[in-house]
């Protein structure tokens, strides 16, 4: 077993609408997606979250069957699990939130199991920055702290968010959030501005335009894989970062080149997530499928100039 990986985030129920499908209530939440993606690696991964007594035993069994440690998940009697309902438009990159029920999330104060206080990698999923900081205060000396956030926290909790950003090693956010956070017009400019706020590494997720990784001295840009089937973007960003940290947990020391490899692995896993609704693809993808998709990504960016084409 490799490094201990601690994942803070929501375990939730979602209801998703697209122009063609309505799912009804299905398993969701950022910790769920991150954990399922990370479970593809030999990693001792603990989820820190909260659910209500309505959380189905079959979903607990599913997460445990993937070797995820649920000792950090609190189950609260007489309460309901966090619920989100959203509708995607013809352009699946755009969505509208139809309903949010915080439910048990209003009572969430994370409790880190004692045997995970020395976690090597900590992932602070997309929740209230106060909760993210509360987790960080409990952890001893992680070698890598990763965070995500969203528009609402940027708008409403900016001071706490700035405090948190100074403490993390890697931030992973989407392009829209990066521009909002920095008031920049360019994602590249925004990435460097965020890096100057504290993190050594910045990943900008660009949806169908791929991902950008920057550090002080290095840049890596990965396109997205053209997919014939694209069903549901929900959880893609969380699956991505779950793949990144799952991969990084295999290494004693973490460098730019290793994170670069993690970006490829995370993108591969996320490309499966979007092809099915909810967590279905994450539950079912095989090692051989992942290995083939890594080859697909390599072919996508590999080329050779066959002869001299320029004139002196």
* Percentage of residues of the chain with pLDDT beyond 90: 88
Q: Alpha helices, DSSP H only, in the chain?
A: 30-38, 57-65, 129-138, 151-156, 158-165, 175-182, 187-195, 236-248, 256-273, 280-284, 287-301
Q: What is the DSSP string of 68-116?
A: -EEEEEEEETT----EEEEEE-SSTT-EEEEEEE-GGGGG------GGG
- Could you report the per-residue pLDDT of 237-296, keeping only the tens digit for each? 999 999 999 999 999 999 999 999 999 999 999 999 999 999 999 999 999 999 999 999
CA atoms in the 13 A half-sphere facing the CB of 36: 32
What whole-number distance in Å separates Cα of residue 282 and Cα of residue 38?
10
Q: Where are the domains of the chain?
A: 4-283
Torsion of CA 13, 19, 21, 27, to 10 degrees: -20
Class at the top of the CATH hierarchy for domain 4-283: alpha beta
Element (H, E) at 7: strand 4-8
Long-range CB contacts (< 8 A, 24+ apart) of 185-188? 187/212, 188/212, 188/214
Looking at residue 2, its pLDDT comes to 63
Query: Which residues of the chain fall short of a pLDDT of 70?
Result: 1-2
Q: What are phi and psi of 119, to 5 degrees?
A: -55, 140
Looking at residue 88, its pLDDT comes to 93
CA distances from 55 to 78, 80, 103, 106 (A): 11, 8, 12, 16
Looking at residue 303, its pLDDT comes to 83
Give 60's contacts (C-beta < 8 A, 6+ positions apart): 70
Looking at residue 104, its pLDDT comes to 96
């Amino acid at each position: 077993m490799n490094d201990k990986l601690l994942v803070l985030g929501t375990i939730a129920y979602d209801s998703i609408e697209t122009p063609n499908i309505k799912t009804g209530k299905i398993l969701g939440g950022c910790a769920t997606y991150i954990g399922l993606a990370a479970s593809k690696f030999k990693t001792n991964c603990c989820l820190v979250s909260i659910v209500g007594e309505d959380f189905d035993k079959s979903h607990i069994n599913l997460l445990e069957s993937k070797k995820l440690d649920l000792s950090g998940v609190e189950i609260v009697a007489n309460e309901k699990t966090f619920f989100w309902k959203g509708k995607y438009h013809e352009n699946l990159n755009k969505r509208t939130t139809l309903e949010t029920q915080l439910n048990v999330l209003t009572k969430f104060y994370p409790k880190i199991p004692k045997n995970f206080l020395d976690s090597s990698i900590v992932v602070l999923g997309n929740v209230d920055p106060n909760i993210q900081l509360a987790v960080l205060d409990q952890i001893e000396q992680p070698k890598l702290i990763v965070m995500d956030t969203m528009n609402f926290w940027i708008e409403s909790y900016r001071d706490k968010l700035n405090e948190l950003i100074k403490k993390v090693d890697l931030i992973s956010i989407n392009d829209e959030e990066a521009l909002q956070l920095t008031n920049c017009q360019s994602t590249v400019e925004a990435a460097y501005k965020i890096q100057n706020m504290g993190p050594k590494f910045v990943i900008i997720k660009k949806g169908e335009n791929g991902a950008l990784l920057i550090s002080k001295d290095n840049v890596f840009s990965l396109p997205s894989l053209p997919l014939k089937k694209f069903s549901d973007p929900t959880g893609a960003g969380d699956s991505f970062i779950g793949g990144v940290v799952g991969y990084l947990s295999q290494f004693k020391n973490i460098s730019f080149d290793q994170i670069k490899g993690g970006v490829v692995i995370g993108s591969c896993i996320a490309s499966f997530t979007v092809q099915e609704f909810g967590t279905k693809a994450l539950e079912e993808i095989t090692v051989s499928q992942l290995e083939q998709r890594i080859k697909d990504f390599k072919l996508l960016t590999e080329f050779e100039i066959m002869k001299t084409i320029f004139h002196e």
